[in-house]
Amino acid sequence: MDILAAQKFAHSLVSEKPVLSALLLALGTLSLARLVFQTLSVLCQTFILPGANLSKFGARKGAWAVVTGASDGIGKEFSFQLAKAGFNVLLVARNKALLDSTAFEIQNMYSGTSTRVHTIDFSNHDEDAYNGFKAAVEGLDIGVLVNNVGKSHTMPTYFADTPEDEINDIATINVHATLRVTRAVLPGMVQRKRGLILNIGSFSGAVPSPMLATYSGTKAFLSTFSSALGEELGQHNIVVEHLNTYFVVSKMSKIRRASVMVPTPGVYVRSVLSKIGLGCGASYSGRPNTSTPYWTHAMLDYGMTVIGMPSVFIRYTHELHRSIRKRALAKAAREEKGK
């Protein structure tokens, strides 16, 4: 009966209001065509099209790459792969021994590559330390900046229960350090009319994440900052890319085993450097200067955008973090009992 009623309504609409029915048909057709076009665009960018050649940013031409948080994980992998691509590398973090070890490995692996290390604790608002960093990059032909240093919560925790020092560290490292490092490197890029800035983001910046509220907020900042900065710097031939990242094997994620959804740092960084300038999974969502290059992350990003309903994903994330916190507390209790 409902089907018959719908058919009668459609017939009467066409016969009595042909202009309105034609308009609705045109809008439906355009919406479908847009979905098909954008879906094909996401698939082509993720699986077929190559990104910009790194020589555009000075690879094999004596240029430097600056990588923060370079002593481990994704930052360390960016250092190696950018050295392989033909950049000299300035490694930046707070642990000098680890930086020296990484620099030594790079020089042994890629002869002719120059490396430098610079130690700084990004959790401090230390003006002298930032002046020291500014002096370290002054005069270098910097083609690439990777803002990788970051901090998350020890475990999922409600904001009201989060220690104040943890809140301060996360905001200082994820926001203040990114601003200060970028500001120190940027004038040289503008002068040379060349540069690539990669800001390592997180899905938690796109999906507000209960029990990681401070971290989630800082990553949302990074997305907005990248879009604004990218528009400013396009006139100077500088590419700004916010990398919307799902889980990667790392100390921060506390995931030790790779899977289809969780790549190793090496696999993830290769996907990033092979897709520079392409939005991939983020190209459907209309977020300027954002890219989701790793293929399963790209498909997840695309699917979430098509589905919409952000409140559903927020509630799912809340339940997930409740479960993670419960397991983390149980593990801590077992370890305490075993002492």
Structure tokens, 185: 């490197």
333 falls within a domain: no
At residue 1, the pLDDT reads: 44
Please write the tens of the pLDDT for every residue from 152-196.
999 999 999 999 999 999 999 999 999 999 999 999 999 999 999
Tokens 């889980």 map to which residue? 247
pTM tops 0.85:
yes
Q: Rounded CA gap, 23 and 95, in Å?
A: 64
At residue 152, the pLDDT reads: 96
Angle at 227 between CA 207 and CA 72, to 5 degrees: 70
**Does the annotation list 271 as a binding residue?**
no
What b/e string do you get for 65-102 counting C-beta neighbours within 10 Å, with b at 16 or more? bbbbbbbbbbbbbbbbbbbebbbbbbbbbbeeebbeeb
Please state the domain count of the chain. 1
What is the SS3 assignment for the chain?
A: CHHHHHHHHHHHHHHHCHHHHHHHHHHHHHHHHHHHHHHHHHHHHHHCCCCCCHHHHCCCCCCEEEEECCCCHHHHHHHHHHHHHCCEEEEEECCHHHHHHHHHHHHHHCCCCCEEEEECCCCCCCHHHHHHHHHHHCCCCEEEEEECCCCCCCCCCCHHHCCHHHHHHHHHHHHHHHHHHHHHHHHHHHHHCCEEEEEECCHHHHCCCCCCHHHHHHHHHHHHHHHHHHHHHHHHCEEEEEECCCCCCECCCCECCCCCCCCCHHHHHHHHHHCCCCCECCCCCCCCCEEECCHHHHHHHHHHHHHCCHHHHHHHHHHHHHHHHHHHHHHHHHHHHCC
175 falls within a domain: yes
| DSSP strand pairing (142-147 vs 238-243) | unpaired
Domain that holds residue 73: 47-310
321 falls within a domain: no
Q: Which of 91, 51, 56 is nearest to 70 (CA)?
A: 91
288 falls within a domain: yes
Domain of 294, CATH number, reads 3.40.50.720
291 falls within a domain: yes
Q: What is the pLDDT along the chain (339 residues), one digit of tens a residue?
A: 466 666 555 556 456 667 666 676 677 677 677 778 889 999 999 999 999 999 999 999 999 999 999 999 999 999 999 999 999 999 999 999 999 999 999 999 998 999 999 999 999 999 999 999 999 999 999 999 999 999 999 999 999 999 999 999 999 999 999 999 999 999 999 999 999 999 999 999 999 999 999 999 999 999 999 999 999 999 999 999 999 999 999 888 888 899 999 999 999 999 999 999 999 999 887 789 999 999 999 999 999 999 989 999 999 999 999 999 999 999 989 888 876
Among residues 110, 130, 215, 294, the one annotated as catalytic is 215
218 falls within a domain: yes
| CA 254 to mean position of chain CA atoms | 18
243 falls within a domain: yes
Within 10 angstroms of residue 183's Cβ, the number of other Cβ atoms is 11
Catalytic site includes residue 215: yes
223 falls within a domain: yes
